[in-house]
């Protein structure tokens, strides 16, 4: 029996509407262009915000901020973004909710248009986290709680977010999201504040090749019992340690990196910038800036 033409037309129209709706749902909070060209250059800035993390990734048309330092160091990030004419963040990643990572998030969200926010799936009731939550609510943003390995594309740079694999840890730092980014031949590993348990997870993580050219050293360069195994697995050409004059990295970590022939950069000596074209790395470091930061612990 032949179908009537009108029924076929209606069925086709419904299918088109359904597929369109699926595409919008998949986009979530994003307002991205569908045709994004591959980047010719990647710039990674490790800000001097005391003993805190704030790392900005920039390509030709996209930007990702990993952590936001302290509440009173947010101007370091915002001043840079204003000078660089960056008015939109495609991604804001909060690796965990310690105040030296989430402290400036509310001011970033209030000032810079943010399309997607990623965070780990655990509960924190700290004052800085509450301010971050309030800023999210005011901007109508619902963060993505990363519970499974998440793949992102940033102008052709393959970015993978690895969540913690346990529901409970002895140390809250072990809830840290870990980010691996591959840009051409160069790999960057941002290891949050991972301590012993989380480092053990990374060493056992299926599908994660720990070998990267650039490492943001875990937990401001504090030594763990398995730090040697981790650094041997990564074997970075260059390592950046976020630290301050009052909270310097452990000498054992510095010695291990020196034995590996790794070039070491400490943010206490100034903001560190790495520029890559996908086949090479070029590092520069500003002279030590005066950082008004009173929240160290």
Task: Provide mean pLDDT across the span 74-100.
Answer: 98
Per-residue pLDDT of 219-252, as tens digits, reads 999 999 999 999 999 999 999 999 999 999 999 9
Task: Provide mean pLDDT across the span 84-101.
Answer: 98
Q: Are 219 and 243 in contact (CB under 8 A)?
A: no
Q: What is the pLDDT of residue 15?
A: 42
Domain hosting residue 243, numbered range: 40-285
Number of structural domains (the chain) is: 1
- Specify the residue for token string 């990295």: 249
Q: What is the pLDDT of residue 74?
A: 97
Structure token pair of residue 73? 């160091």
DSSP track, 138-183 = HTT---EEE-S-EEEEETTEEEEEE--S-S--SSGGGG--EEEEEE
Torsion sign across C-alpha atoms 224, 225, 227, 228 = positive
Q: Are 235 and 215 in contact (CB under 8 A)?
A: no
Per-residue pLDDT of 260-273, as tens digits, reads 999 999 999 999 99
Q: How far is CA 104 from the centre of its chain?
A: 14
Q: What is the pLDDT of residue 38?
A: 78
Q: Is the pLDDT of residue 2 over 90?
A: no
In a domain, 33, yes or no: no
Structure token pair of residue 143? 């963060």
Q: How far is CA 286 from the centre of its chain?
A: 22
In a domain, 150, yes or no: yes
Task: Provide mean pLDDT across the span 105-121.
Answer: 98
Could you tell me the pLDDT band of residue 108, with boundaries at 50, 70 and 90?
A: very high
The domain spanning residue 62 has which CATH number? 3.60.15.10
In a domain, 236, yes or no: yes
Q: Which residues contact 168 (CB under 8 A, 6 or more apart)?
A: none
Q: Tell me the percentage of the chain whose pLDDT exceeds 70.
A: 84
- Specify the residue for token string 């937990």: 219
In a domain, 11, yes or no: no
Sheet holding 281-285, edge to edge: 144-146, 117-120, 91-93, 63-66, 55-58, 42-46, 272-276, 281-285
Q: How far is CA 74 from the centre of its chain?
A: 16
Q: Are 232 and 211 in contact (CB under 8 A)?
A: no
Q: Which residues pair with 223 in a beta bridge?
A: none
Strands (DSSP E) contained in the chain are 42-46, 55-58, 63-66, 88-89, 91-93, 113-114, 117-120, 144-146, 150-154, 157-162, 178-183, 186-190, 214-216, 238-241, 263-266, 272-276, 281-285
In a domain, 171, yes or no: yes
Listed range (34-38, 108-112, 140-144, 284-288) with the worst mean pLDDT: 34-38
In a domain, 17, yes or no: no
In a domain, 18, yes or no: no
Q: Which residues contact 94 (CB under 8 A, 6 or more apart)?
A: 67, 68, 101, 102, 105, 117, 118, 119, 120, 132, 143, 177
Tell me how far apart the alpha carbons of residues 167 and 244 are, in angstroms, rounded to a whole number. Answer: 31
Per-residue pLDDT of 55-72, as tens digits, reads 999 998 999 999 999 999
pTM: 0.86
Task: Provide mean pLDDT across the span 14-25.
Answer: 39
Buried/exposed 261-280: b ≥16 CB within 10 Å, e otherwise: ebebbbbbebbbbbebebee
Q: What is the pLDDT of residue 290?
A: 53
Could you tell me the pLDDT band of residue 193, with boundaries at 50, 70 and 90?
A: very high
In a domain, 7, yes or no: no
Q: Is the pLDDT of residue 110 over 80?
A: yes
Q: What is the pLDDT of residue 16?
A: 37
Distances (CA, A) of 222 to 129, 165, 192, 249: 24, 22, 12, 6
Q: What is the pLDDT of residue 287?
A: 78
Per-residue pLDDT of 129-168, as tens digits, reads 999 999 999 999 999 999 999 999 999 899 999 999 999 9
**Average pLDDT over the chain, rounded to an integer:** 88
Tell me how far apart the alpha carbons of residues 198 and 213 are, in angstroms, rounded to a whole number. Answer: 21
Task: Provide mean pLDDT across the span 5-19.
Answer: 40
Q: What is the pLDDT of residue 39?
A: 76
């Amino acid at each position: 029996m032949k179908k009537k033409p009108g029924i076929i037309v209606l069925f086709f129209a419904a299918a088109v509407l359904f597929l369109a709706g699926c595409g919008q749902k998949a986009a979530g909070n994003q307002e991205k262009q569908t045709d994004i060209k591959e980047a010719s250059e990647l710039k990674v800035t490790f800000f001097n915000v005391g003993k805190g993390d704030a790392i900005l990734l920039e390509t030709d048309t996209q930007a990702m901020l990993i952590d936001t330092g302290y509440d009173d160091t947010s101007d370091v990030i915002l001043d840079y973004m204003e000078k660089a004419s960056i008015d939109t963040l495609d991604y804001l990643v909060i690796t965990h909710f310690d105040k030296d990572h989430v402290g400036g998030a509310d001011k970033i969200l209030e000032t810079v248009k943010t399309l997607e926010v990623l965070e780990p799936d655990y509960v924190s009731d700290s004052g800085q986290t509450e301010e971050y939550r309030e800023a999210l609510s005011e901007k109508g943003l619902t963060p993505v709680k990363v519970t499974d390995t998440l793949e992102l594309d940033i102008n052709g740079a393959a970015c993978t977010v690895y969540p913690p694999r346990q529901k409970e840890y002895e140390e809250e730092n072990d809830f840290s999201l870990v980010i691996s980014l591959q840009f051409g031949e160069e790999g960057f590993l941002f290891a949050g504040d991972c301590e012993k348990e989380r480092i053990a997870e990374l060493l056992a993580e299926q599908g994660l090749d720990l070998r990267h050219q650039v490492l943001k050293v875990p937990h401001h360069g504090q030594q763990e019992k398995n730090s040697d195994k981790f650094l041997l697995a990564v074997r970075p050409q260059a390592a950046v340690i976020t630290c301050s004059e009052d909270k310097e990295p452990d000498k054992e970590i510095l010695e291990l990196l020196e034995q590996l022939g790794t070039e070491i950069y400490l943010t206490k000596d100034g903001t560190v910038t790495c520029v890559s074209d996908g086949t090479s790395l070029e590092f520069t470091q500003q002279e030590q800036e005066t950082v008004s930061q009173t929240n160290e612990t």
